[in-house]
């Protein structure tokens, strides 16, 4: 069961694969695999059911593991201005607001639920990379500080979180290739013990092709392969070997004229699992 849950969570990484590259050479719109000058996208997910004719149609609203429908809004440069999480009536439950400096870099990100809970402020190094993130509560008191250090010679990034007293909380270490995509990722918990270790293989355009999850003794826990259609959207996530604990995920899409999908059916094995619909607004 643990392996199945882990694999399901890792599937989403392939959709956001381009975000693993150089943070100075992407937009949020590209990171979520949207094409063209998208202004906003609203995504709603439903349970999949079969009609009397055998077609897959949407059923009741899909809710699992804290997942919600959402609306993402972008500025003209393709960067987030807000992300709103919605209930089944389309009303906002919580929201993230993004603000940028005069150079177009993210300056603050504020989380509302429904009132302000956390406000994050960003600082950058001389190369324009995030070096410090401060998280403040609604009263303006510091909660968490996150530092990122870059070893340019070895292409290693180390991100560490501290509480307001400066005490270590957690750390992640990413080894990247020359294109800026993660090849090895390690996460260390508050006891500085290795809690997650994975190796990744990416295509030159950033799409995640293979992922290997390792145990602490370097043995392989499981391996997943990913396949994409001509539009670049994920169509298959499957184990490399027969594994009764992991059911392959398949996806079928319907597209608009801009090659953005408006309807996606998610299959687990041969069974339809969910139907997701999008409303997309363009500039």
- How many C-beta neighbours within 10 Å does residue 29 have? 21
| φ and ψ of 89, to 5 deg | -90, 0
The reply to whether the predicted model has a pTM over 0.75 is yes
Q: How far is CA 237 from CA 86, 174, 207, 226, in A?
A: 27, 23, 13, 5
Q: How far is CA 250 from CA 3, 32, 197, 228, in A?
A: 18, 18, 25, 10
Q: What is the DSSP string of 179-229?
A: TS-EEEEEEE-TTS-EEEEEEEEE-TTS-EEEEEEE-TTS-EEEEEEEEE-
Whether the predicted pLDDT of 18 surpasses 80: no
CA angle 259–262–268, rounded 5-degree value: 110
For residue range 195-242, list pLDDT tens digits in order.
999 999 999 999 999 999 999 999 999 999 999 999 999 999 999 877
Residues 6+ apart with CB under 8 A from 90: 69
User: Do strands 38-50 and 194-202 pair parallel, antiparallel, or not at all (unpaired)?
Assistant: unpaired
What is the per-residue pLDDT for 98?
Answer: 98
- Are 267 and 249 in contact by the 8 Å Cβ rule? The answer is yes
Query: What stretches of the chain show up as alpha helix (H) in DSSP?
Result: 2-15, 28-31
Report residue 25's pLDDT band, with 50, 70 and 90 as the boundaries: low
Share above pLDDT 70 across residues of the chain, in percent, rounded to a whole number: 89
* Token reading at 172: 């992640």
For residue range 133-171, list pLDDT tens digits in order.
999 999 999 999 999 999 999 999 999 999 999 999 999
Centroid of chain to Cα 98: 17
Q: Is 34 helix (H, G, I), strand (E, B) or coil?
A: coil
For residue range 42-85, list pLDDT tens digits in order.
999 999 999 999 999 999 988 776 678 999 999 999 999 999 99
Beta bridge partners of 239: 224
Round to whole Å and give the CA distance between 283 and 281: 7
- The more confident residue out of 185 and 15 is 185
């Amino acid at each position: 069961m643990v392996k199945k849950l882990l694999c399901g969570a890792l599937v989403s990484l392939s959709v956001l694969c381009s975000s693993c590259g150089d943070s100075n050479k992407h937009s949020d719109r590209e990171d979520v695999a949207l094409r063209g000058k998208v202004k906003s996208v609203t995504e709603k997910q439903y349970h999949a059911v079969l009609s009397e004719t055998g077609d897959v149609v949407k059923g009741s609203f899909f809710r699992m593991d804290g997942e919600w429908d959402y609306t993402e809004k972008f500025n003209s440069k393709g960067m987030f201005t807000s992300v709103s999480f919605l209930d089944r009536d389309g009303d906002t439950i919580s929201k993230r607001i993004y603000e940028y400096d005069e150079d177009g870099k993210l300056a603050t990100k504020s989380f509302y639920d429904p009132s302000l809970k956390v406000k994050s402020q960003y600082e950058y190094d001389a190369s324009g990379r995030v070096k410090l993130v401060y998280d403040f509560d609604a009263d303006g008191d510091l909660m968490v500080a996150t530092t990122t250090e870059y070893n340019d010679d070895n292409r290693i990034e180390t991100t560490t979180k501290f509480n307001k007293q400066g005490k270590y909380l957690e750390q992640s270490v990413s080894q990247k290739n020359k294109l800026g995509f993660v090849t090895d990722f390690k996460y260390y918990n508050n006891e500085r013990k290795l809690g997650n270790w994975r190796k990744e293989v990416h295509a030159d355009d950033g799409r995640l092709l293979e992922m290997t999850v390792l145990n602490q003794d370097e043995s392989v826990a499981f391996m997943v392969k990913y396949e994409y259609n001509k539009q670049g959207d994920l169509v298959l996530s499957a184990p490399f070997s027969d594994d009764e604990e992991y059911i392959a995920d398949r996806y079928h899409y319907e597209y608009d004229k801009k090659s953005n999908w408006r309807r996606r059916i998610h299959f687990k094995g041969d069974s339809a699992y969910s139907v997701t619909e999008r409303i997309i607004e363009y500039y």
